Amino acid sequence: MLIVALLGPSFGEAEGDLSTTDHDTFLVVDISRSMDASDIVPTRLERIKYDIQQLCDTLPNSRFGLVLASSESFVLSPLTADQDALKQLIHEVHTNITPTGGTDLCNAIELAYQKLVTDSSTHQSVRSIVLFSDGENFGSCERASLARLRAQGMPLITIGVGTEAGSSIREGRDFVRDDDHQIVRSRLNRQFLQELARDGRGNYIEADANGRYVNELARVLRSLKGGTIHQHHVAVSTNKYYYFLLVALVFLALDIILTIRTFRL
């Protein structure tokens, strides 16, 4: 009976509803020169690239799109369920893709918003935007843009990449310098990213050197509510091992009782 129970016999059918929810997320990645800072090893951007690949592995059933944020933002990948293709694209991202080094983060967020709104395949999904940045922003942020995110139920999750101590940025054999020839030191602008997340009804998460924050980000994305839940009525056979386990336990108890009585005689 124990052997039969271990084999997990299944018979009969149990009916129930299987519910699934579609998640569509645009990842906005800051590719300004400050993302070459090495206060997070090996650099801020390289850390993000690796962590996005980990996020794809953690949420294999989600669709992701990719927007690169610079002085002029652009879509590197539309929403796709092809995680392998997305991981290949993110692997090729570098800060020298664009000729200028500034960043307009809010323009990139607006671009991701427009792509989510205009794509008819996302209208029944849980939609969100995740921004990976050190928070250095040279553009203006209109509150109306963040208000539209709230109205559409699209939370903005910001990932702070960097440290308050900051780091210099290598440029060849030297470092990036300002107009006074002083070495530029790039620091995490935590307050700006926290304000974006608050106004976008999302969360602020700070990246760490070993990537543990990816699990927290995945948990936040899984917990998002909204969209249409697809329900399927299914009938499955159930594992009835416990019947055989119960019989085995009864036999074992009888065996112990009879053995004790035999010794007493």
Q: Where are the domains of the chain?
A: 2-18+237-264, 23-223
Residue 79 is predicted with a pLDDT of 96
Q: With CA atoms as reference, report the closest residue to 95 among 166, 38, 141.
A: 38
Residue 145 is predicted with a pLDDT of 87
**What are the tokens at 150?**
């709230």
Residue 240 is predicted with a pLDDT of 78
CATH assignment of 23-223?
3.40.50.410
Below-50 pLDDT ranges, the chain: 18-20, 227-230, 232
- How far apart, in whole angstroms, are the C-alpha atoms of residue 69 and residue 133? 9
Residue 6 is predicted with a pLDDT of 83
With a CB cutoff of 8 Å and minimum separation 6, the contacts of 97 are 31, 68, 70
Q: What are phi and psi of 188, to 5 degrees?
A: -70, 125
Amino acid of residue 47: R
- How many other CB atoms sit within 10 Å of the CB of residue 69? 28
Q: With CA atoms as reference, report the closest residue to 169 among 7, 9, 35.
A: 35
Residue 14 is predicted with a pLDDT of 60
Residue 177 is predicted with a pLDDT of 84
Long-range contacts from 182-189, C-beta under 8 angstroms, 24+ separation: 186/34, 186/37, 186/39, 186/134, 186/136, 186/162, 187/134, 187/162, 187/163, 188/39, 188/134, 188/135, 188/160, 188/161, 188/162, 188/163, 188/164, 189/134, 189/135, 189/136, 189/137
What's the first-to-final CA gap in the chain, in angstroms?
A: 29
What is the rounded radius of gyration, in angstroms, for the C-alpha atoms of the chain?
A: 27
